[in-house]
Amino acid sequence: MNPLLREAYSTDAFRKSAHRLIDQICDHLAASFAGEHQQALPWQAPENAQRFWRDLAQQSPTIEEVCQHILDRSVRISDPKYMGHQICVPAPTAILAGMVTEALNNGSGVFEMGMAGTAMESHVVQVVARRLGWDEAADGYLTSGGTLANLTALLAARACRRLHSDALDGPSHSTSASPTSDWEHGTRQRLAVMVSEQAHYCVDRAARVMGWGAAGIIRVPTNPAFQMDTEQLPRLYAQATEDGLTVVAIVGSACSTSTGAYDDLQAIADFAAEQRLWFHVDGAHGAAVAFSDRHRGMLAGIERADSVVIDFHKMLLTPVLCSALVFRCGADSYRTFATEAEYLFSQQEENESVAAAESFNLARRTFECTKTMMAAKIYSLLAVHGEQLLEASVDHLHALASQFAAVIESRREFELAVQPQSNIVCFRYHGRGETTDKSSRSVEAAVALSQRMTLVRQALTEQGKFYIVKTVLRGEVWLRCTIANPFTSADEFNALLDEVERLTETLRPSLTERV
């Protein structure tokens, strides 16, 4: 063997480095949880970051040195001052399980290659299905993120639309076309999906990927609480039909990305049933409340959905990426990528042994063929800690968001966009002596306020002490926080608001001059 290969695969060297690396990670996490780092975001300009890593690669560093630089120069999601994107602080149990899966490097596309992974995945999916209120007929799989899961769900809606209609109408309304003809011959109709204007952009992207174009995305306005205005659905559906579109599906947000608002899933389910539409719930973020007895009511109606997406890497303590796509009727999960010649699961029920074996070959149902053993991380959390740990995470993060909202409302010049329904909080600072009354604000004042919030967010990013993001709600910029760290407290909330106020007052004179 080449000496370089022998050295690279040395288990003795690996053991020593791994022990040292575990200590490095534990020290990093302990300091982060305690808020000892000065920055949640050690910001560097892109060109400076590229230069650093290029130069380091020329110095033959040890793996411990490389990893220490990664720890030092990455966003510290485990820092209580991190309130940015919808990414959780992973539990150490899940981190350790991830190390094992990396070492094994087993795929989960076919059962014989991923025996442990696919079996664990089946268990995780059944846990999710039960939490959604579904019976043993439900089935699904894990996939790499909500974007891919939502696209796959809409592909399933397209593939199943005739079967879905036939099941409601009876056999006399069946068509000669196969439910898989779109996959074989392309889409011949102008198809469309109905979705809230506040829905995640990946639904829009999925419709365009499928070739439906801009016209195939029917955006439903929202009410003052940023929830889908379901009273608009009949009018928009009628208009789409008049325009020659065939509406295939309707998507409910549970919850929306910008504000964390939950759509009325019961009302959407009623409309979907009336119009014979596929009802999909994008619960990537908020369907996590299915694990919470206290907050489960936010999902009323989700048990009537045809498909649901839930991300474990948002509020459920799992490293990225790990999303579940679950179908109320498990057979629907096979139809997305099925061809007429291969469609064993409804046309060859007599061959039950083949169908049962194929059910564990997950590549038949997902985009991924070489699929990572992502189930191990979730399974480990469930097996070691129980579902109660996931419930504790959801409840605690929701409580922190409510606490943050109360802190914002207690400060006169700050405005809350909407009372949080999840762990997402949107707010802005108006400036000393300025009113938060929208009715008395001029267009010019609204524009100036949005400019200030944009500049404040950029200043926060470059400063790096806090990490938050921004969003645009009805044309106006708001600062947006996702409370994802269980160690975040009122101390961080007040410190963040103090810094937003300080930066705004510092920027106001120069911005006024510029305007």
**In this predicted structure, what is the pLDDT of residue 178?**
47
Contact status, residue 320 vs residue 89, Cβ threshold 8 Å: no
Q: pLDDT-derived band of residue 349, with 50, 70 and 90 as boundaries? A: very low
Q: pLDDT-derived band of residue 439, with 50, 70 and 90 as boundaries? A: low
Q: Which residues pair with 220 in a beta bridge?
A: 196
| Between 433 and 376, the higher pLDDT residue | 376
Residue type, 378: I
Residue 220 DSSP SS3: strand
* Per-chain mean pLDDT for the chain: 89
Phi-psi region of 301 (alpha: psi -120 to 50; beta: other; left: phi over 0): left
Cα 229 to Cα 239: distance, rounded to the nearest angstrom = 16
pLDDT, tens digit, for every residue of 318-340? 999 999 999 999 989 887 776 54
**In this predicted structure, what is the pLDDT of residue 348?**
43
pLDDT, tens digit, for every residue of 379-433? 999 999 999 999 999 999 999 999 999 999 999 999 999 999 999 999 999 988 7
End-to-end CA distance of the chain: 69
pLDDT at residue 352 tops 80: no
Q: Which residues pair with 467 in a beta bridge?
A: 82
Q: Which residues pair with 250 in a beta bridge?
A: 194, 279
CATH topology of domain 388-514: Aspartate Aminotransferase, domain 1 (3.90.1150)
Cα 148 to Cα 135: distance, rounded to the nearest angstrom = 25
Q: pLDDT-derived band of residue 300, with 50, 70 and 90 as boundaries? A: very high
Q: What is the mean pLDDT of residues 489-510?
A: 92
Residue 250 DSSP SS3: strand
Q: What is the mean pLDDT of residues 30-49?
A: 95
pLDDT at residue 508 tops 90: no
Contact status, residue 217 vs residue 271, Cβ threshold 8 Å: no
Cα 398 to Cα 305: distance, rounded to the nearest angstrom = 24
pLDDT at residue 344 tops 50: no
Contact status, residue 264 vs residue 228, Cβ threshold 8 Å: yes
Domain with CATH 3.90.1150.10 in the chain: 388-514
CA distances from 459 to 84, 183, 200, 467, 508 (A): 14, 49, 26, 10, 13
pLDDT at residue 301 tops 90: yes
pLDDT at residue 346 tops 70: no
Task: Give the rounded distance of the alpha carbon of 416 from its chain centre.
Answer: 23
**In this predicted structure, what is the pLDDT of residue 356?**
53
83: closest CA among 477, 501, 461, 377? 461
**In this predicted structure, what is the pLDDT of residue 107?**
85
Written as six digits, the tokens of 1 are 């063997």
Residue 188 DSSP SS3: coil
**In this predicted structure, what is the pLDDT of residue 515?**
44
Cα 347 to Cα 344: distance, rounded to the nearest angstrom = 6
**In this predicted structure, what is the pLDDT of residue 183?**
67
Strands (E) across 35-189 are located at 139-143
Phi, psi of 481 (to 5 degrees): -120, 135
Contact status, residue 282 vs residue 249, Cβ threshold 8 Å: no
Strands (E) across 173-222 are located at 191-196, 217-220
- Angle 484-485-491 (CA atoms, 0-180°, nearest 5)? 115
Contact status, residue 209 vs residue 151, Cβ threshold 8 Å: yes
Written as six digits, the tokens of 247 are 């509406």
Contact status, residue 40 vs residue 468, Cβ threshold 8 Å: no
Q: pLDDT-derived band of residue 510, with 50, 70 and 90 as boundaries? A: low
Listed in sequence order, the residues at least 6 apart from 301 whose beta carbon sits closer than 8 Å to its beta carbon are 252, 264, 265, 266, 267, 268, 269
Instruction: Pick 106-385's CATH classification: 3.40.640.10, 3.40.50.11890, 3.40.50.300, 2.60.120.260.
Output: 3.40.640.10
Ranking 173-187, 278-292, 407-421 by mean pLDDT, the lowest is 173-187
Q: Is 442 exposed, middle or buried (0-12, 13-18, 19+ CB in 10 A)?
A: exposed
Ranking 88-97, 205-214, 466-475 by mean pLDDT, the lowest is 205-214
Written as six digits, the tokens of 415 are 């405005």
Written as six digits, the tokens of 385 are 């800690």
Q: pLDDT-derived band of residue 351, with 50, 70 and 90 as boundaries? A: very low
Give percent of the chain above pLDDT 90: 77
Listed in sequence order, the residues at least 6 apart from 449 whose beta carbon sits closer than 8 Å to its beta carbon are 428, 430, 441, 476, 477
Listed in sequence order, the residues at least 6 apart from 334 whose beta carbon sits closer than 8 Å to its beta carbon are 343, 345, 364, 365
Domain with CATH 3.40.640.10 in the chain: 106-385
Q: What is the mean pLDDT of residues 139-154?
A: 93
Q: What is the mean pLDDT of residues 259-281?
A: 97
499: closest CA among 451, 444, 462? 462
Q: pLDDT-derived band of residue 181, with 50, 70 and 90 as boundaries? A: low
Ranking 29-33, 94-98, 188-192, 361-365 by mean pLDDT, the lowest is 361-365
Written as six digits, the tokens of 275 are 């119009």
| Between 456 and 107, the higher pLDDT residue | 456
CA distances from 328 to 140, 170, 270 (A): 9, 20, 16
